[in-house]
Amino acid sequence: MSHIFRVALDTPVRRLFDYLAPLQATAQPAPGVRVRVPFGRQRRVGVITEVAQDSEVPPARLKPILQVLDATPVLDASLQELLRWAADYYHHPLGEVLASALPRALRLGAPESAREERWLVTAAGMAAVAAGEPRRAAKQRALLAFLREQREAGAAALAERFGNWRAAARALTARGWIASVEVELERPPAPATALRTPGPTLLPEQSEAVAAILAARERFGAFLLHGITGSGKTEVYLRVIEQVLRAGRRALVLVPEIGLTPQLLERFHERFEVPLALLHSGLTDQERLGAWRDAFSGRARIVLGTRSAVFAPLADLGVIVVDEEHDASFKQHEGGFRYSARDLAVMRARHAAVPVVLGSATPALETLHNVLNGRYARLTLARRAAQAQPPTLKLIDLRSHAVRGGLATPAVLAMERHLAQAGQVLVFLNRRGYAPTLLCTACGWLAPCRECDARLTVHLAAGRLRCHHCGADLPLPPRCPQCGFAVKPVGQGTERVEETLGTLFPSAPIARLDRDVVRRPQDATGVMRRMASGEARILVGTQMVTKGHDFPNVTLVVVLNADQGLFSTDFRAPERLAQTIVQVAGRAGRGSRAGEVLIQTEFPDHPLLTHLLAEGYEGFARAALEERAQAAWPPFSRLAALRDSARTAEAALAFLTEARTLARHPPSGVRLLGPVPAAMHRRAGRYHAQLLIESRERRALHEFLDGWLPEVEQLKSSRAVRWSLDVDPIELY
């Protein structure tokens, strides 16, 4: 009986496809190896997941594999196991899950290691040269002579010498005089550890943390490294990684956004003289392939990357670090396969029997819950490492002060004071653009987006009106298109705050950091350099300013408006707001001087703010977890969201309603909530809706989904909508 090869293909279909052994088989391809197979009328690249004895498909209808692409699996056994687990847990087709773990170039069939095309002269070619051939074609003649002289040459060398040489090479190949081979590019092996600098003497808390993590070196252990910004978490990562490298193993480090953390990258480079593979979304396909190959071949000793780097191939993994583990960007919330890289990192560490370190100043409530129930160990760094004082936080009641351009008088006075004392000031506002609304004062027109239930944002410098939800981009109208009267921007965005500050403090140079200024990762570097050098005195920015930068001379942080997150329908909004405030506050006073943080609000008595101010993030988290427990929200229950969008509101609701009807008798403990239209019902011309599935028990939820989803997929109404399932959703409608 010949073997059957079960192949996962990158399709949304929830099944694997069986193939016969390739006709010119040399060795049996193993699971984890890529193959090219016929698929309908196409050829596709897939990954072997299993070698079986028989198939449900009659043998006569099975087709052989066309080509085996890898000699060794591109996904090793432990990655295969992790991906299979992920496909189960997120209820997503295995083919798409495996595909998401491979760079695009590999999905299209590129070789797994860098190869070079080399050309040489055949025996027949030697004889031909001896006989004075070729007589006429000058280029062929020169090429042949060159190759004979060099014995062999790479394609790059030939291009350099002859320019366009392919046609000549083809002619010579056709006569059998020259031939090409593909050889693996040899790269010098990297030293296991090469320390450039030893790093500072660790503080007692840091030493304890390093020791605790290293004690779990040969087994699984999950650690929350909880410490405010500047408490020395990165130093702990570096020391643990140093020991891991010394043991001849490798480290995987996940960060939310690489463009925003050049300082972290710099610290790795300063500390270690070992090849580091960088994997992030700003890479071209070729760069990503190169980084993946460095990881796969084992050349890279450290892999540093964003979300999808959790799937990077790494032999001899020794530790996984997830920095800023609370960050929402670790959750993939677009497309089909919606995974949490943080949660998968923990699972990967478990499979690989290595420690995983989750670092944060503001841990996710889920993570804190895991600490409280004993699953994760907490390591605390309570003080700032470099003798800096924690900042003091104060609220400014927007109702009882004069406000100009979004700035209350006490905030302006504080800025004056800090600037006069040579401090730098950071102003945070989570809204880019000039103003969130354009208003006609005569007829009340509010510049709505035609495709969304949202208003267009004014971008004054660019002279545009833009929708931040669908990307619509229109010229800024000089007058009201409805009545022809004058229009005026209402409210504050970072662009406008920059303008206001310019008039208030004409002698203080201002820098801005938001998605409009930073279009590519390297754009952030210039802004940060201006701040670091002290050339800029004030930094205005969105969420971006809360991440990673260390500006030791910032002594004052002003949060312009804390209120956006206070009254959201999403039960996670308070957590996000508290994290943002604490993170942005952490930017103050990182040098030797104590920092001051002012938070403007219209609700100074709101419990979230009062808890946060009185007891810090810890106090907030305790109160928030209690609330979640009472309402039975995660982490005290498990959630999945079935979401869809359609051209009409009716179609969007119809599918979810039918899906709900299929589950008329859900198992006990499983509840279906909805369907409900999304808070922003229409977005980019489509209507969005959501059906929540909630369960006390994780297992009950997954058993339910296992039975229900295949039926949901069969629904006729599913064809009229785009739908997806989000397990452990972090943003709710």
Which of the stretches 405-413, 466-474, 489-497, 658-666 binds Zn ion when contact is defined by CB under 5 A?
Answer: 466-474
What binding mask, one character per residue, do residues 631-650 give for Zn ion by CB under 5 A, x or -? --------------------
State the helix-helix crossing angle for 365-372 and 607-631, rounded to 10 degrees: 60
By C-alpha distance, which of 457, 389, 390, 404 is closest to 600? 404
Site string for ligand ADP, 9-38 (x = CB under 6 A): ------------------------------
Residue from 6, 148, 233, 288 in contact with ligand ADP (CB under 6 A): 233
Beta-carbon count within 10 A of 476 CB: 18
Enter the tokens of residue 729. Answer: 């959703």
Q: What are the C-alpha distances in Å from 19 to residues 4, 39, 49, 109, 145?
A: 6, 10, 12, 18, 47
Question: Which range in 79-87, 226-234, 657-665, 720-728 contacts ligand ADP by CB under 6 A?
Answer: 226-234
Cβ proximity of 504 and 546 under 8 Å: no
- Please, what is the angle between helix 262-271 and helix 521-532, to 10°? 80
Quick one: 390 or 604, whose CB is closer to ligand ADP?
390
Contact set for Zn ion, span 269-308 (CB under 5 A): none
**Dihedral of the CA atoms 293, 296, 301, 302 (nearest 10)?**
80
Binding of residue 480 to Zn ion (CB under 5 A): yes
**Residue recorded with tokens 């500390």:** 271
Q: Which is nearer to ligand ADP, 287 or 618 (CB)?
A: 618
| Contacted by 200, from ligand ADP, Zn ion, none: CB < 5 to 8 Å by type | ligand ADP
Choosing from 52, 185, 483, 594, the residue that interacts with Zn ion (CB under 5 A) is 483
SS3 content of the chain, % helix, strand, coil (to 5): 35, 25, 40
Residue 327 sits at the vertex; the CA angle it makes with 325 and 332, to the nearest 5 degrees, is 105
CB-based contact 691:460 (threshold 8 Å):
no
Residues that bind ligand ADP (rule: CB under 6 A) add up to a total of 15
Q: Which stretch binds Zn ion (CB under 5 A): 72-80, 161-169, 269-277, 479-487?
A: 479-487
Q: Mask 380-409, x = binds ligand ADP (CB under 6 A)?
A: -----xx-----------------------
Q: Closer to Zn ion by CB, 82 or 439: give it.
A: 439
The binding track of 141-180 with respect to ligand ADP, each residue x by CB under 6 A or -, is: ----------------------------------------
Return the number of the residue (485 or 567) whose C-beta is nearest Zn ion.
485
In this structure, are residues 672 and 700 in contact, taking their beta carbons and an 8 Å threshold?
Answer: no
Q: Which CB sits closer to ligand ADP, 199 or 410? A: 199
3-state secondary structure of 403: strand
Token code pair at residue 286: 């070729």
Estimate the crossing angle of helix 166-174 against helix 138-150, to 10 degrees. Answer: 80
* Cα gap 216→354, rounded to integer Å: 7
469 binds, among Zn ion, ligand ADP, none (CB under 5 to 8 A by kind): Zn ion
With CB under 5 to 8 Å by kind, the binding choice for 440 among Zn ion, ligand ADP, none is Zn ion
Q: Which stretch binds ligand ADP (CB under 6 A): 97-105, 229-237, 416-424, 435-443?
A: 229-237
Is 467 a residue that touches Zn ion (CB under 5 A)?
yes
With contacts defined by CB under 6 A, name the span among 184-192, 228-236, 269-277, 452-460 that binds ligand ADP.
Answer: 228-236
Q: Tell how far CA 309 is from the center of its chain.
A: 8
**Residue 472 interacting entry, from Zn ion, ligand ADP, none, C-beta within 5 to 8 Å by type:** Zn ion
Q: Shortest Cβ distance from residue 252 to ligand ADP (Å)?
A: 18
Is 587 a binding residue for ligand ADP by CB under 6 A? The answer is no
User: Using CA atoms, how far apart are residues 535 and 180, in angstroms rounded to an integer?
Assistant: 57
Find out whether the peptide bond into 635 is cis, omega within 30 degrees of 0.
yes
Q: How many CA atoms lie within 13 A of 670 on its CB side?
A: 20
Number of H helices, E strands in the chain: 20, 32
Closer by beta carbon to ligand ADP, 371 or else 385: 385
- 363 forms part of the interface with ligand ADP (CB under 6 A): no
Tell me whether residue 455 or residue 587 sits nearer to ligand ADP (CB atom). Answer: 587
Retrieve residue 313's tokens.
């191939």
Q: Is 265 in the site for ligand ADP (CB under 6 A)?
A: no
Give the up-direction half-sphere exposure of residue 600: CA atoms within 13 A in the CB hemisphere. 25
When binding is defined by CB under 6 A, the residue of 95, 103, 227, 677 that contacts ligand ADP is: 227
Closer residue to ligand ADP (CB): 197 or 569: 197
Rule CB under 6 A: say whether 667 interacts with ligand ADP: no
CB of 228 to ligand ADP, least distance (A): 7
Contact partner, 234, from Zn ion, ligand ADP, none, Cβ < 5-8 Å per class = ligand ADP
Q: Which string of DSSP letters, residue by residue, matches 41-72?
A: TEEEEEEEEEEES--SS-GGG--B-SEE--SS
Q: What is the closest distance, in whole angstroms, from the C-beta atom of residue 245 to ligand ADP in the complex?
A: 18
Q: Which positions ≥6 away from 268 have C-beta within 8 Å?
A: 238, 253, 276, 302, 304
Which of the stretches 86-94, 200-208, 282-290, 563-571 binds ligand ADP when contact is defined by CB under 6 A? 200-208
Question: From edge to edge, which strands make up the β-sheet containing 115-121?
Answer: 152-154, 115-121, 178-184
Residue 730 near which of ligand ADP, Zn ion, none (CB within 5-8 Å, type-dependent)? none
> Which residue ranges make up the site for ligand ADP (CB under 6 A)?
200-203, 206, 227, 229-235, 385-386
> Which residue ranges make up the site for Zn ion (CB under 5 A)?
440, 442-443, 445, 449, 451-452, 467, 469-470, 472, 480, 482-483, 485
